[in-house]
Amino acid sequence: MMYVSRYSNPELKSGKYIAVGISLGKPKWPLGYAINGELNDLKPWGLLGIEDKAEYERRYRAQLDGKGVDRIIRSLDQFGHEKPVVLLCYEDVRDPSQWCHRTMFAQWWLEQTGEIVEELPDPSTPRLKTPPQSEKPTGTRSLAQMNEAMKKAEERARQRQLERCQISMFEGGAW
């Protein structure tokens, strides 16, 4: 199983995950957990400073296409399969004003492999950037709605894990 998240997610301190950096830099603050490695193939090389999301995504996807699924799988395999891998960078994508290459990777991965890579649930309160008055969104989700959505995402992840376990038991001849 694989997730994406931000370095500041306190859930990573639980020790349940293999933390892997996919950002161009490393955090300069104490994390409270170890970063187990980096995946250079997933870093957004040469894209720093591109503010147009569509252009950024087009170029990042081109980089991913150039690497290919097989190469990325081999890179991920170095971290083993004992714990879920969490691919990390900085942005808090719970804030609708922020976007990140990790979510672009997750979408690309789904399209290429059919495997869903979810955002690791983050128990902390989001720090939303305050948009200018003219850009304030209407109809934003409440904290309770976001918590409910996160609970549903966690349940879907548990269900998928159970299904994978059942499939592996079936394929392994346990039936």
- Count CB neighbours of 99 within 10 A: 14
What are the pLDDT digits (tens) for 9-23? 999 999 999 999 999
What confidence score (pLDDT) does residue 127 get?
81
Q: How sure is the predictor about 132, in pLDDT bands with cuts at 50, 70 and 90?
A: very low
**Domain total in the chain:** 2
Residue 135 lies in a domain: no
Name the β-bridge partners of 20. Answer: 37, 87
76 and 146 in a single domain? The answer is: no
pLDDT at 175 over 60: no
Higher pLDDT, 155 or 107: 107
Q: What is the mean pLDDT of residues 158-165?
A: 64
In a domain, 44, yes or no: yes
What's residue 144's pLDDT?
Answer: 73
Whether 154 and 113 map to the same domain: the answer is no
Whether residue 95 sits in one domain with residue 37: yes
The pTM score is: 0.72
Structural domain for 76, as ranges = 1-120
Residues 116 and 145 in one domain: no
Residue 15 included in any domain:
yes
38-47, 75-84, 107-116, 162-171: which range is least confident on average?
A: 162-171
Classify residue 151: in a domain, yes or no: yes
Using DSSP's 3-state secondary structure scheme, residue 87 falls into strand
User: 96 and 15 in one domain?
Assistant: yes
Residue 132 lies in a domain: no
Residues 26 and 90 in one domain: yes
User: In angstroms, rounded to a whole number, what is the distance separating the alpha carbons of residues 69 and 136?
Assistant: 39
Confidence band (pLDDT; 50, 70, 90) for 140?
Answer: low
Both 67 and 102 in a single domain? yes
Residues 113 and 34 in one domain: yes
Check residue 62 and report its DSSP letter. Answer: H
* The residue count for the chain: 175
CB atoms under 10 Å from CB of 117, counted, come to 21
Instruction: Quick: pLDDT tens for 48-85.
Output: 888 899 999 999 999 999 999 999 999 999 999 899 99
Kindly state whether residues 110 and 59 are assigned to the same domain.
yes
